[in-house]
Amino acid sequence: MMTAALRPSEPTTVNVALGNRAYDIVIGRGVAASLGLRIAALKPGARLAIVTDENVARAHLDSLEAQLSAAGMTVARIVVPPGEGSKSFASFERVCDALIAAKIERNDLIVAFGGGVVGDLAGYAAASVRRGLDFVQVPTTLLAQVDSSVGGKTGINSRHGKNLVGAFHQPILVLADTALLDTLPQRDFRAGYAELAKFGLLGDAGFFAWLEANWQDAFAGGPAREHAIAIACRGKAAIVARDERETGERALLNLGHTFGHAFEAAAGFSDKLLHGEAISLGIVCAFEFSTRLGLLSTNDAGRVAHHLAAVGLPTHLRDVPALSTNADALMELIAQDKKVKRGKLTFILVRGIGNAFVAPDVDPAQVRDFLAQKLSQA
């Protein structure tokens, strides 16, 4: 079993090895204060546009702008409403127009300063405006620090489903300042924790066991927090370096997401069900469906559900009143999943904790029967 390292005096740096597009993820308390110096080294003379949401702007934007201005940088701010609703065509149009109005040019820089919604939206705008601008991720939520800020997936939602419009566009730097998590609402921290647990469940059983023993210290802001974030980032960086565009191994990072994205869509992409909460439900469903297929024991599925429930995440569809739907409606949403190939369903299933695999051509009838049973228990 892994043990937590003592809090380091220096930040942890994880490199995402993508040749001439390689970049660093810098993890530690207070690292956002170095943003100006790091940008000056990477993009001397660049003008900046910070894309953020109203909540992050209220808490942190003035201090970040002051730091960048003190470093001699010209800064424009673009503020969007918080929440999944901002991952929309309307918000994308607004951000793109604001970047052009601010005269952000190809040699300038976009800073995505917020959670996963801001990172996905700002990154997609960066991929699109003037046919591609560099951008930096400064993630302010646990979910964004361990998952969405790393790997270059950007995009928005369609009324047909989650993340169906977007582009692969890598950042040039990620600054994961763990001090920013101190003010994160507990519900949002829990939602991010689902992605931490996911990493252990898909390929690192020892990490999941360590989380079972140390999750309370991670929640409290102790040394376990930075250690866990670093482990997850290091693991994801390695997978992204091997399979940037998700032609194989990277698909494993979607454990829980085929079910989870359908649940999010059914709940209207709203705060009735946060992304990480949907992923918690999706992970439980992936383990229980794998059990139903005879791939693993019920003990593993029960252990996973027990841990996610212990940290306060939903593990039963009945925990989410917004999911008052039916199996056929969920199957329609699942059919829009990006992993569907020529109409055949692909799921990430498991043979045990830390042993996920890509399962192509899953029988839709079996999935529908499973969902119908889960909904009947709600």
> Could you give the residue numbers annotated as active site?
131, 153, 195, 236, 246, 250, 254, 257, 261, 275
For residue 209, the tally of other CB atoms under 10 A from its CB is: 17
For residue 81, the tally of other CB atoms under 10 A from its CB is: 11
24: helix, strand or coil = strand
3-class SS letters over 48-88: EEEEEEHHHHHHHHHHHHHHHHHCCCCEEEEEECCCHHHCC
CB 79 within 8 A of CB 54: yes
Residues 6+ apart with CB under 8 A from 177: 28, 29, 30, 31, 32, 138, 140
Tell me 352's DSSP state. Answer: S
The residue type at 309: A
Q: Which two tokens stand for residue 234?
A: 């290091």
Q: Is 361 left (phi over 0), alpha (psi -120 to 50) or beta?
A: left
Parallel, antiparallel or unpaired: strands 134-139 and 109-114: parallel
